[in-house]
């Protein structure tokens, strides 16, 4: 996220010289706002900026169009996360088919998620330079190719290679959440972020729900054929409905249109160029390395990123541990695989409740920012998390000790109720920590939230290897003790949220990344004013000869 801030930082390093009237007798206030933002490269070419053509950007799309785009992206996100969470339903069959242990079969789950964590970061810089649309199409194409490879795999090794490559090919949240930033600015994007976060976490529950039925009633290869069918449908939907939204790509197109239109009208070709047209090279190896390295730098050096990412990552890991614990827990009541899959429906309902619970707070904060955008501190976005994050520990404690089974006269509905509480907390943790880092890190938000996504996928991946041994370790209370241990860890991870809410301003003052925002505030105010005035007033295209 924060891609527009990233663009500002890049422009400062690309030998662009801002046009000024320092020697002019006219006052600064008398100058056109467009001229204030007019920029030239070292060859004297005027570079089209967002403030000079706001009507062509994603911000100018109607709300209806934005949410149609977002709905397709939500389906895309569900599809990618479906691929991660449906695989455990094939573990037993893969083990039997090729004579490997079930632990060896789970390597496919671990490899997919771990490489998904790295893949998200690798796809991000390319989407910034070449646009969201082609990168998402390319990602979906490769994921579908590897899904076909898995469906037709003749042996265990081919299956593992297909899983690993599919994980690395998944663009995921680094691009989809960046697309949200193309449509709304940081002050108005919370509804869009909430929608995409819901789709992301929902994919982890849709997998076991659908996978349970396939495990019970279909040959195991259908688990991968369904991935391919879902992925192909999503790719076609994205191809037909979603336009390009990346601002630099849209500005390039607008600059070309203006030059072409001028020639068509018999006028001199205007000296105006798109931001990518004036670059000698679109993207360098050094830029890719910096983009890939920065999330890890922030993860290690910034307490805000570290604590938020660990809490969010651990919360996501729980869902994947549940993919293993659900079977033995609900098997006590005689649940078949399809019935166990339906046990994830309460978790899915919990995601809906978590999503709905954020809306009043988003509405209130957005109304306040309309009055004064800097009157709402970033820590405000953690307020609702103070109340919902403890639900994770409560839900785990409850799930643990309602896993005793029917011999203790415990009804199966009890652990499902606590699972729904965990779903509420999981959604709220992801939404609040992500939203907070977007507000706290401005131009570094993409890297900060990249660390969040990395932690979620990486921790979920390694959990695939230890979750089953973890739940088989204890001689007594085999199902109760592991969940209790997880609940204790969850309790400890909640503490930093309270620390950041009350001490966040002090923590940010000691951060060179967060403090770099101070110099951007006044420029951001003017930029927002220009964009609102021009978009609202239907301003004509500005052409500079």
pLDDT at position 33 is: 46
Return the sign of the alpha-carbon dihedral for residues 288, 292, 295, 296: negative
- pLDDT for residue 319: 74
pLDDT tens, position by position, for the chain (545 residues)? 444 334 434 444 443 333 333 333 333 344 444 454 566 766 778 888 888 888 999 999 999 999 999 999 999 999 999 998 899 999 999 999 999 999 999 999 999 999 998 888 788 778 878 889 999 999 999 999 999 999 999 999 999 999 999 999 998 777 888 888 889 887 888 999 999 999 989 988 999 999 999 999 999 999 999 999 999 999 999 999 999 998 889 999 999 999 998 888 888 888 888 888 888 776 677 777 777 777 788 888 888 888 888 888 888 887 777 777 888 889 899 999 999 999 999 999 999 999 999 999 999 988 888 888 778 888 888 999 999 989 989 999 999 999 988 988 899 999 999 999 999 999 999 999 888 887 777 656 667 777 778 888 888 888 888 888 888 888 878 888 988 988 898 888 888 888 889 988 888 777 776 666 555 544 555 555 555 565 554 444 433 33
Token code pair at residue 3:
């891609």
**Amino acid 267: pLDDT:** 84
Give just the sign of the alpha carbon dihedral 385, 1, 348, 465: negative
Spatial contact of 244 and 250, defined as CB atoms under 8 Å apart: yes
DSSP secondary-structure letter at 18?
E
Output DSSP code: residue 45: P
Strand order in the sheet with 39-40: 17-18, 39-40, 46-47, 272-273
How many residues are listed for the chain in this entry? Answer: 545
Is the Cβ–Cβ distance between 451 and 299 less than 8 Å?
Answer: yes
pLDDT for the residue numbered 226: 96
Classified as helix, coil or strand, 17 is: strand
SS3 218: coil
SS3 state at 272: strand
pLDDT of residue 211: 93
Which residue shows structure tokens 């994050």? Answer: 389
Residues 6+ apart with CB under 8 A from 371: none
Among the listed residues 61, 378, 8, 372, the one whose alpha carbon sits nearest the alpha carbon of residue 190: 378
Cβ contacts of residue 479 below 8 Å, gap of 6+? 325, 328, 329, 400, 403, 404, 471
At the second CATH level, the architecture of 55-246+282-523 is Up-down Bundle (1.20)
Helix (H) or strand (E) holding 39: strand 39-40
Identify whether the C-beta of residue 153 lies closer than 8 Å to the C-beta of residue 159: yes
Question: Which position has the token pair 């690309």?
Answer: 14
Q: Where do the structural domains in the chain lie, given as residue ranges?
A: 55-246+282-523
Local structure of 539: helix, strand or coil: coil
**CA 532 remoteness from chain centre:** 27
Half-sphere exposure of residue 218: CA atoms within 13 angstroms, side-chain side:
15
Cα-Cα end-to-end distance for the chain: 34
Contact 478, 469 (CB under 8 A): no
pLDDT at res. 307: 83
CB-CB contact of 13 with 453 (8 Å): no
Structure tokens at 419: 């699972």
Dihedral pair phi/psi, residue 40, rounded to 5°: -125, 150
Phi, psi of 402 (to 5 degrees): -105, 5
Q: Which residues of 338-374 are buried (b: 16+ CB within 10 A; e: fewer)?
A: bbbbbbbbbbbbbbeebbebbeebbeebbeebeeebe
Q: What are phi and psi of 479, to 5 degrees?
A: -90, -20
Taking each helix axis as running N to C, give the angle between helix 285-301 and helix 303-331, from 0 to 180 degrees, rounded to the nearest 10: 80
Distances (CA, A) of 75 to 109, 234, 236, 332, 506: 22, 7, 12, 34, 39
pLDDT for res 274: 86
Nearest alpha carbon to residue 391 among 359, 353, 361, 365: 353
Cβ neighbours around 467 below 10 Å, total: 22
224 and 147 Cβ atoms separated by less than 8 Å: yes
pLDDT at residue number 321 = 78
Q: What CA–CA distance (Å, rounded) separates 448 from 305?
A: 6
């Amino acid at each position: 996220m924060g891609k527009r801030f990233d663009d500002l930082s890049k422009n400062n390093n690309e030998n662009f010289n801002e046009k000024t009237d320092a020697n002019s007798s006219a006052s600064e206030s008398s100058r056109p706002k467009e001229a204030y933002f007019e920029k030239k490269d070292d060859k004297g070419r005027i570079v089209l900026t967002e403030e000079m053509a706001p009507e062509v950007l994603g911000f100018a799309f109607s709300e209806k169009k934005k949410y149609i785009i977002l709905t397709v992206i939500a389906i895309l996100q569900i599809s990618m996360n479906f691929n991660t969470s449906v695989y455990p339903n094939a573990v037993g069959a893969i083990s039997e088919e090729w004579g490997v242990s079930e632990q060896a079969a789970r390597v496919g789950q671990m490899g997919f998620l771990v490489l998904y964590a790295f893949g998200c970061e690798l796809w991000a810089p390319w989407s910034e330079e070449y646009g969201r649309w082609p990168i998402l199409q390319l990602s979906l194409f490769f994921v579908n190719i590897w899904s076909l490879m898995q469906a037709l795999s003749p042996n265990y090794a081919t299956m593992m290679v297909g899983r690993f490559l599919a994980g690395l090919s998944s663009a995921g949240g680094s691009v989809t959440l960046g697309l949200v930033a193309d449509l709304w600015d940081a002050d108005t994007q919370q509804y869009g972020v909430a929608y995409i976060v819901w789709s992301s976490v929902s994919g982890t529950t849709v997998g076991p729900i659908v996978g349970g039925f396939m495990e019970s009633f279909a040959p195991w290869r259908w688990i991968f054929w369904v991935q391919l069918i879902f992925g192909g449908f999503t790719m076609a939907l994205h191809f037909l409905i979603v336009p390009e939204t990346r601002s630099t790509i849209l500005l390039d197109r607008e600059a070309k249109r203006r030059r072409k239109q001028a020639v068509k009208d018999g006028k001199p070709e205007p000296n105006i160029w798109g931001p990518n047209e004036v670059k000698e090279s679109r993207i360098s190896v050094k830029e890719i390395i910096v983009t890939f390295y920065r999330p890890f730098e922030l993860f290690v050096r910034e307490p805000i990123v570290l604590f938020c990412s660990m809490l969010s990552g651990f919360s996501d890991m729980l869902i994947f541990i549940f993919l293993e614990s659900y079977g033995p827990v609900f098997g006590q009541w005689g649940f078949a695989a399809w019935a166990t899959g339906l046990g994830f429906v309460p978790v899915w309902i919990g995601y809906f409740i978590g999503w709905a619970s954020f809306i009043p707070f988003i509405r209130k904060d957005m109304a306040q920012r309309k009055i004064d955008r800097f009157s709402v501190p970033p820590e405000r976005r953690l307020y609702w998390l103070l109340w919902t994050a403890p639900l994770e520990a409560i839900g785990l404690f409850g799930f643990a000790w309602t896993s005793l089974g029917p011999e203790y006269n415990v009804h199966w509905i009890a652990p499902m109720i606590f699972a729904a509480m965990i779903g509420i907390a999981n959604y709220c943790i992801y939404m609040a920590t992500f939203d907070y880092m977007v507000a706290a890190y401005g131009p570094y938000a993409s890297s900060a939230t990249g660390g969040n996504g990395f932690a979620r996928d990486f921790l979920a991946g390694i959990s695939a290897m230890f979750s089953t041994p973890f739940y088989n370790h204890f001689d007594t209370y085999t199902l109760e003790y592991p969940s209790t241990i997880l609940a204790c860890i969850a309790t400890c991870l909640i503490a930093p949220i309270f620390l950041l809410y009350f001490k966040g301003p002090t923590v940010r003052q000691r951060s060179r990344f967060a403090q770099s925002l101070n110099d951007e505030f006044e420029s951001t105010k003017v930029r927002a004013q220009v964009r609102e005035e021009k978009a609202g007033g239907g301003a004509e295209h500005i052409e500079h000869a």
